[in-house]
Structure 1
Amino acid sequence: MTSLSPRPLVLMYHGVDHVPADRDPYGMFVTPAAFRAQVEQLLESGFVPVSEDAYLAALAGGPALPRKAALITFDDGYVGVGEHAVPVLASFGLPSVLYVPAGLVGGASVWLEPRHRHLLMAGEDLVAVHRSGMAVAAHGFDHQDLTTLSAADLRRHTTEARAELEALLGEEVRTFAFPYGTHDARVREAVRAAGYRAAFAVHDGAGDFAVPRVDVNATDSMLSFRLKLRRSYPALRRALGRAPAVRRMAHDLLSRAPGDEHGESSLAGAR
């Protein structure tokens, strides 16, 4: 296996739905209209969305990806992704990957405060979206921070989670996304040893088993979304992170979606 160079753009979404601000304090839910506009912008900008199959084949030394390849991913498995995002992607014939906590299939986002929880897809929903062209992969067992777990618990969140999803889908589960984006060397090795071929983080990358992603959230305007499509965005985000006041100013200028009532988004407690 070899690292991809240049790496494709990897976008990370959570929910796609109509959710009022008081039920979405972390700005996780992009509206269906905003999602469609973002997909259209992605294509108009020359990006070529690729499948998990194509990504992993290129990672293993197979056919190279397009120069402006993009991988569209979703974390958690909210029902609105099946109801709203899948039809948009299907209308363009685009692939994507959905990361779900195997122990919460058919449940809710119980890692959030009760009033901020939302329903997650049931098993039959996951089978249906998988048949529509959305790969389904692992996001731990019940959305715990893997860096806090014992070796035995890590096996539950990696090996056992994989086995449960494979039993549901009837095929191999090949990639993993870290809950909250948190990982360390021990966790990355546990994921690799469980048989996954690649894993995805959020902003902090570490090779093929912690590939960084660009988060898209409820407060993104089209201007901020276009900025996030630029290869320079991760470096810009790191620079702004070292200057919080400048970052807040940039957020206010760029990331207020028209007509959106959300305040500044912070996914730190929600991913």
Structure 2
Amino acid sequence: MRTRAPARVLMYHGVDHVGRERDPHGMFVTPANFRAQMELLLESGFVPVTEDAYLAALGGDRLPRRAVLITFDDGYQGVGEHAAPILESLGIPSVLYVPVGLLGGRADWLGDRLRYPLLSAGEVQGLRTQGMAIGAHGLDHADLTRLGDAELLRQTQETRDTLAELLGTEVPTFAFPYGAHDARVRDAVAAAGYRAAFSVHEAAGRFGIQRVDVNATDTLRTLRVKLHGLYPAARRTSRHVPRARRLVHDLLGSAHDDSGALAVARP
């Protein structure tokens, strides 16, 4: 049975100055762009909500009409250095999903050109103390759909236990690395005791909640399109997410400057 998401959920990855040649997939939004996007949310009447409020809404509680949940995947250091202060200054809550077995290391999945540093365990604890919710993203950013049952158990249950011990609090939500999930993976996440899990493009109830990805080429115009209530349905209908994304940017423009870093592009 499908569970209708009670609010829009935005998915970010990194927030930092990373040139296009090192970030071909557009994973890193500049701090200036990120601030402008968060200000746009508030100016447009969106109401950022906490993880707790979102989970309560899954259980039937009501949220504001334009509620939005801000999430980050992977635990890049720039989220702590750049995004967290911006969010704190604007009073915006968020959820950060970290691969707990890699804290303090580097993101090898980004390729040799980048290998961006990840937050340390102490930095994650500090962000939690500052009010950012912390969620699970597996042990080592593995594609869970490719794992055997024993390893899948480690990536879900052991991840939850390790992260809960680090934070001294419950870890209620999970985000699938690469957005990859199937019925077996969703069942494992549910059995591990999580209350909800987030995917990217493929929706499958409360253990496969769809999110809207915000990437390095998004301008305020393209973000407005992505915030439209019909955007997720249109994206699902197209069945060609990268093609749909390119079409939006072809029509409305992409954020970049001549240096190869990304810049704020106003409407």
The one-letter code matched in structure 1 to 2:58 is: L
Deviations 1:81-109 (A, max 9, x none): 00110011101111100000111011111
User: How many residues matched?
Assistant: 261
1:189 aligns with 2:187: yes
The Cα shift of 1:240 comes to 4.6
Q: 1:219–1:262: 8 Å Cα contact kept in structure 2?
A: no
- Aligned counterpart in structure 2 of residue 230 of structure 1, from 223, 228, 231: 228
Deviations 1:30-84 (A, max 9, x none): 00000000001111111110001111122223x3111111000000000000011
Distance between the aligned counterparts of 2:241 and 2:27, measured in 1? 24
Given the superposition, is the C-alpha separation of residues 206 and 117 from structure 1 closer, same or farther in structure 2, using an over 3 Å criterion? same
Distance between the aligned counterparts of 2:121 and 2:237, measured in 1? 42
- Aligned counterpart in structure 2 of residue 65 of structure 1, from 54, 60, 63: 63
Distance between the aligned counterparts of 2:242 and 2:29, measured in 1? 24
Q: Which runs of structure 2 are paired with 1:23-62 in the superposition (5 Å)?
A: 23-61=22-60
Per the alignment, in what secondary structure is the counterpart of residue 22 of structure 1?
coil
Distance between the aligned counterparts of 1:53 and 1:244, measured in 2? 31
Q: Which runs of structure 2 are paired with 1:127-166 in the superposition (5 Å)?
A: 127-166=125-164
- Aligned counterpart in structure 2 of residue 126 of structure 1, from 124, 146, 151: 124
What stretches of structure 1 of length at least 5 have no aligned partner? 264-271
Distance between the aligned counterparts of 1:130 and 1:189, measured in 2? 27
Given the superposition, is the C-alpha separation of residues 258 and 247 from structure 1 closer, same or farther in structure 2, using an over 3 Å criterion? closer
Q: Which runs of structure 2 are paired with 1:1-271 in the superposition (5 Å)?
A: 7-61=6-60, 63-242=61-240, 248-259=246-257, 261=260
Given the superposition, is the C-alpha separation of residues 255 and 101 from structure 1 closer, same or farther in structure 2, using an over 3 Å criterion? farther
The Cα shift of 1:192 comes to 0.2
Distance between the aligned counterparts of 1:245 and 1:233, measured in 2? 14
The Cα shift of 1:254 comes to 2.3
Deviations 1:196-254 (A, max 9, x none): 00000001100000000000000001110111110111133245545987764433232
Q: 2:5–2:58: 8 Å Cα contact kept in structure 1?
A: no
Per the alignment, in what secondary structure is the counterpart of residue 113 of structure 2?
helix
Q: 1:27–1:262: 8 Å Cα contact kept in structure 2?
A: no
Which stretch has the larger CA shift, 222-231 or 238-247? 238-247
Per the alignment, in what secondary structure is the counterpart of residue 197 of structure 2?
strand
Given the superposition, is the C-alpha separation of residues 39 and 189 from structure 1 closer, same or farther in structure 2, using an over 3 Å criterion? same
Q: 1:218–1:262: 8 Å Cα contact kept in structure 2?
A: no
Identity over aligned pairs, percent:
61
Per the alignment, in what secondary structure is the counterpart of residue 24 of structure 1?
coil
The Cα shift of 1:123 comes to 0.7
The one-letter code matched in structure 2 to 1:49 is: P
What stretches of structure 2 of length at least 5 have no aligned partner? 263-267
The one-letter code matched in structure 1 to 2:214 is: V
Q: 2:106–2:117: 8 Å Cα contact kept in structure 1?
A: yes
Q: 1:8–1:71: 8 Å Cα contact kept in structure 2?
A: yes
- Identify the residue that residue 268 of structure 1 maps to in structure 2: none
TM-score by length of 1: 0.90
Given the superposition, is the C-alpha separation of residues 226 and 115 from structure 1 closer, same or farther in structure 2, using an over 3 Å criterion? same
The one-letter code matched in structure 1 to 2:178 is: Y
Distance between the aligned counterparts of 2:175 and 2:110, measured in 1? 18
The Cα shift of 1:110 comes to 1.6
Given the superposition, is the C-alpha separation of residues 255 and 166 from structure 1 closer, same or farther in structure 2, using an over 3 Å criterion? farther
The one-letter code matched in structure 2 to 1:28 is: M
Per the alignment, in what secondary structure is the counterpart of residue 106 of structure 1?
coil
Per the alignment, in what secondary structure is the counterpart of residue 137 of structure 1?
strand
